[in-house]
Structure 1
Amino acid sequence: MPRVLVSDKLSTTAVQIFKDRGVEVDYLPDLGKDKEKLLAVIGQYDGLAIRSATKVTEKLIAAATNLKVIGRAGIGVDNVDIPAASRRGIIVMNTPFGNSITTAEHAIALMFAVARQIPEASASTHAGKWEKNRFMGVEITGKTLGVIGCGNIGSIVATRGVGLKMHVVAFDPFLSESRAAELGVEKVELDELFARADFITLHTPLTDKTRNIINADAIAKMKKGVRIINCARGGLVVEADLIAGLKSGKVAGAGIDVFEVEPAEQNELFGMDNVVCTPHLGASTSEAQENVALQVAEQMADYLVKGAVSNAINMPSITAEEAPRLKPFVKLAEVLGAFVGQVTEDPIKEVEILFDGATATMNTRALISAALAGLIRPQVSDVNMVSAPIMAKERGVILSEIRRDKSGVFDGYIKLTVKTEKQTRAIAGTCFSDLKPRFIQIKGINMDAEVGRHMLYTTNGDVPGIIGLLGGILGKHKVNIANFQLGRDHPGGNAIAMLYLDERIPDAVLEELRAQPSIDSAKPLQFDVAEA
């Protein structure tokens, strides 16, 4: 009988679901707060069900010698070391849609509270002061609401804003014009949103591209009197810059549910009259807590008892029979998507996936999900292979699939083509006998490039000296090259290079490369693959 540890507070109904489905369960809801005790017992369990208190570190995973699945009751998996779990073959599941409405409603509630100074007015009234003239609020109706991130939660907030007779403008790289029209919002660029919005609400995950998206420069572009709401992630807002904006009067108020450091027991935002703070309550309703708890118990039990995989962050839904053949091509599809996702800045309109030869006979649904997850993950870090197709559809992305018989020298390969308003990008790859993903064509240029965790992709004209230039700059900064592949479309035409590096390339080295006249572009790439 499989055994599961519940180390955070979960519904007792969820505990009963485990028992009813033939899973032995230990409900120890305070154990997640004690790192040493958890470390001592984790080796006894096949599954670990958590919320946000338990931190699943690389050290904990190393001690979890029997662990097969980690289930997070909620959407965020910031407290789980996913690469470490993946390397150990541990599936990480979440419940991506169980608390969307609750979080969206909390953002709307904070917006009202900030607009009408409700918490401060309530405290004053409780104190018997009756300071009616002190609290002069603003109306919501007719104001412009700027939504940054229009995915599952953001789209709910947007429709609520429309219902409140607000004019809603939205920024999201994956939001299409048709999806924006369906929601009743106006799609804009980020700087335009800053300039026009009376209220700004954040609903994007924390990634390298979104970290510190609200900083001093952003606030300088905003209207005087703007009000900012953050129920997403603390690192999206530079708190020191927000405080400066509040003190100067540029920012009239803020509603903050998430902080740079949590638990936030001390913070300069606390005590400011024009700030409403809550302790990460976005998902804290009885309905949401129950929904995500029941969902994670069902998913984990189904996997441990039946082998069914759903809502996995690091693995697609595939059967036990097809897994050995499919697994390397799932990783290939994810890598192809991750390449395009990291080099594409504009909103994606269309995605075409070609399966040639042997790949056309596989479970292409899992391969498509993997490609979409890789494509979206640079913008939405907690996307999984179940939610990726839904997210793409919500954003109005047109998806097409082509299957054809073997047409070239490879037994089977996958080609991903992505279209934006400005350009079309295409990349193809395959797996050789070692079952590792390889790039075989980029921008129509043939090559054979091994995929590594840290890579550098450059484009340039086909001129002499590129190899020496790249190698010289990297060598000067002691960045070691594990593999170096070149390709060109024709002599003197367009050329590309793919470099597999031993470490992530420093920003200063990137800037030096980009300053070279003979290099058109230089992009750092990160892939979740095992090192050689």
Structure 2
Amino acid sequence: MKKVLIPTKLDAVARETLTARGGYEVIQDDSQELAVLASLHPDTHALIVRSEKVTAEVIDAMPSLKVVIRAGAGYNTIDIKHARLKGVDVMNTPGANANAVAEEVIALMLADARHLIAADASTRAGKWEKKNFMGKEITGKTVGIVGFGAIGQLVAKRLDGFDVKVLAFDPFLSDERARDLGAESVELGKIFEKCDYISLHMPENDDTRGIINKSLIARMKNGATLINCARAGIINEDDLRALKADKGLRFLNDVYPKDEAANQSVTDIADIMLPHLGASTVEANLNAAMRSATQLIGYDDKGIASYVVNRDVPEGLDRAYSELAFALAHTCRGIAGGNKQMKLIETSFYGDLARFGDWLLVQIVAALSDDFDRTQGYDAALEYLKEMGVEYFNRETDTSKGYGNAITVDVTTSIDAAHFKRVSVRGTVAEGNMMVSRINNFDKLYFEPVGNAVLFIYKDRPGVIGQIGSALADAGINIDDMRNPHDPSGENSLALMRISGAVDCAVVDRIAGQIDALHASCIRY
């Protein structure tokens, strides 16, 4: 019998499913601290948690532990690195809470539009302030959804009956998929300019932290409503505070830096505050519980590890090639333009890497989309591509080319309804270092994709490199490394430079104008 410990108020369906399957002894006890339960059950095979903190000490107290399952999407409360060191897989159940969060967004919109919270308190106090609670209707408004993954798409579906116009922003979203869901795919700035309601559904990472800042908030319509049920860090609170009153904005919030009782920093600017209730529904709890049980059974019976979030590289694969796949795709994204819509991903895995194609695809998708975690599995990657309407094709490689262990990533993005742009990047690992060997028709680059880089394509002529170097110097940027080949025609040149620090893309655009560049981009690895 395999012991399963559930130290939380998870729906009983998890225990019932595992018990009915047979072969499991399920201990569900939310009356004691997890550390205590871990010491009482050192023979635990699987641990299923909600928001409990799974520390290194907890893991060490259960030497038989093989898997920790987070009944939900986020797993920041679990020490995944220590779990990996101990040979413990950590899984999550993404999507189980998606509908609950989507419905919360609609609830917030309605509650604010009709002053339900304030009107309830007033009426309970014996008042009859009908004139003070004149509301507004959602029908006929324009709603913007920033981040059009599982939750964002469900928000669009739930809005269908309100006869609203839905605008969606997601760099990984195809126009066709957006239209299928009744939305129009637009640039981020247009969301803030055109929408009466803006609902945020993006992850928080180095690229998105503080992205909702003064430049975007200043473009919002007077009286518009901003809803955050995603992550606290994506909004620059000080910028919102500075502009909110003058523009008459409304701010509805359910997320905070820490889930804890405290004087929250947004108290003075939030018109409605909830204690992170997005996933707190009976149905979401049931879905997460059922997913936890079925994933554990699949993991034990068939070795299915699609949602393991702390996977180590497969045996036989040099970790450097995992990082290479990520870097090559990130290069494609930077050249294509970070906010361009993906249409097609094509890959070629040469040499011994062919047998690791499934694993490497995960790294590629994660590099192309901030909304996909690179710790997930191949099945999850395929499901995400399908969800976003992006096609994927893995080409059979020609061994006669003699590339050795190499990877080619091609990304096709849409410029508009009738035009597409294709970026092709190939690379390898040499003496333990990642190398970009080709970008489109520019070959034999042998450029290390680390740090910050700028790329220019221009009509070949003398003096251009000097112009670029001088302009970068004026911006306080030094050139650390450079490649400057011609294309096969000899007409065009590529200037690919690793630089000393991050450069504002406005500087790159200005240089592009000075040298009449055919293309310019800045890439941050």
Give the direction of change, closer, same or farther, for the CA distance of 1:106–1:366 in structure 2 (3 Å limit): same
Give the direction of change, closer, same or farther, for the CA distance of 1:497–1:402 in structure 2 (3 Å limit): same
Give the direction of change, closer, same or farther, for the CA distance of 1:447–1:278 in structure 2 (3 Å limit): same
On the 8 A contact 2:170/2:339 being kept in 1, the answer is no
Give the direction of change, closer, same or farther, for the CA distance of 1:457–1:216 in structure 2 (3 Å limit): closer
Deviation at 1:249, TM superposition (A): 5.2
Deviation at 1:281, TM superposition (A): 0.9
Aligned position for 1:219: 217
Q: Which amino acid aligns with 1:417?
A: D
Give the direction of change, closer, same or farther, for the CA distance of 1:446–1:248 in structure 2 (3 Å limit): same
Deviation at 1:68, TM superposition (A): 4.1
Greater shift, 135-144 or 76-85, is seen at 76-85
Q: Distance in 1 between matches of 2:357 and 2:91?
A: 22
**Deviations along 1:212-262, whole A, 9 cap, x unmatched?**
2333332221111111211111112233443444444521x3321112343
Give the TM-score normalised by the residue count of structure 2.
Answer: 0.79
Give the direction of change, closer, same or farther, for the CA distance of 1:98–1:409 in structure 2 (3 Å limit): same
Give the direction of change, closer, same or farther, for the CA distance of 1:464–1:133 in structure 2 (3 Å limit): closer
**Deviations along 1:21-58, whole A, 9 cap, x unmatched?**
53555545466687xx699889875544322342657x
Give the direction of change, closer, same or farther, for the CA distance of 1:497–1:5 in structure 2 (3 Å limit): farther
Q: Distance in 2 between matches of 1:464 and 1:88?
A: 54
Aligned position for 2:293: 297
Aligned position for 1:228: 226
- List aligned pairs for 1:104-503, cutoff 5 A: 104-248=102-246, 250-251=248-249, 253-267=250-264, 269-270=266-267, 275-304=271-300, 306-315=302-311, 323-325=314-316, 332-341=324-333, 344-355=337-348, 357-358=350-351, 362=355, 364-376=357-369, 378-381=370-373, 384-385=376-377, 386-422=379-415, 423-430=421-428, 439-444=436-441, 445-448=443-446, 455-459=451-455, 488-489=485-486, 493-497=493-497
Deviation at 1:389, TM superposition (A): 2.2
Deviation at 1:282, TM superposition (A): 0.8
**Deviations along 1:353-396, whole A, 9 cap, x unmatched?**
343554586364444344323322x3445783333322222322
Matched, 1:52 2:51: yes
Q: Distance in 2 between matches of 1:95 and 1:485?
A: 44
Secondary structure of the residue aligned to 2:367 is helix
What are the ranges of 5 or more consecutive residues in structure 2 without an aligned counterpart?
416-420
Give the direction of change, closer, same or farther, for the CA distance of 1:509–1:188 in structure 2 (3 Å limit): closer
Matched, 1:22 2:46: no
Greater shift, 74-83 or 485-494, is seen at 485-494
Deviation at 1:95, TM superposition (A): 0.9
Identity of aligned residues (%): 32
Deviation at 1:278, TM superposition (A): 1.3
**Deviations along 1:389-435, whole A, 9 cap, x unmatched?**
2222232223222113303223443211012235432222346797x
Equivalenced residue count is 498
Q: Which amino acid aligns with 2:329?
A: G
Give the direction of change, closer, same or farther, for the CA distance of 1:382–1:245 in structure 2 (3 Å limit): farther
Give the direction of change, closer, same or farther, for the CA distance of 1:99–1:508 in structure 2 (3 Å limit): same
Give the direction of change, closer, same or farther, for the CA distance of 1:512–1:116 in structure 2 (3 Å limit): closer
Secondary structure of the residue aligned to 1:371 is helix
Q: Distance in 1 between matches of 2:65 and 2:486?
A: 49
Q: Distance in 2 between matches of 1:440 and 1:418?
A: 17
Deviation at 1:165, TM superposition (A): 0.5
Q: Which amino acid aligns with 1:130?
A: W
On the 8 A contact 1:21/1:301 being kept in 2, the answer is no
Q: Distance in 1 between matches of 2:340 and 2:477?
A: 35
Deviation at 1:142, TM superposition (A): 0.6
Q: Distance in 2 between matches of 1:477 and 1:168?
A: 42
Give the direction of change, closer, same or farther, for the CA distance of 1:494–1:335 in structure 2 (3 Å limit): closer
Q: Distance in 2 between matches of 1:68 and 1:334?
A: 28
Q: Distance in 2 between matches of 1:77 and 1:338?
A: 25
Give the direction of change, closer, same or farther, for the CA distance of 1:440–1:65 in structure 2 (3 Å limit): farther
Q: Which amino acid aligns with 2:6?
A: V
**Deviations along 1:138-172, whole A, 9 cap, x unmatched?**
01111111111111110111122232101111111
Give the direction of change, closer, same or farther, for the CA distance of 1:336–1:56 in structure 2 (3 Å limit): farther
Aligned position for 2:12: 12
Q: Distance in 1 between matches of 2:28 and 2:53?
A: 13
Aligned position for 1:96: 94
Secondary structure of the residue aligned to 1:418 is strand
Give the direction of change, closer, same or farther, for the CA distance of 1:14–1:524 in structure 2 (3 Å limit): same
On the 8 A contact 1:207/1:380 being kept in 2, the answer is no
Q: Distance in 2 between matches of 1:216 and 1:33?
A: 43
Q: Which amino acid aligns with 2:162?
A: L
Give RMSD over aligned pairs.
4.3
Q: Distance in 2 between matches of 1:354 and 1:249?
A: 48
Deviation at 1:107, TM superposition (A): 0.5
Greater shift, 401-410 or 62-71, is seen at 62-71
Q: Which amino acid aligns with 1:291?
A: N
Give the direction of change, closer, same or farther, for the CA distance of 1:350–1:86 in structure 2 (3 Å limit): farther
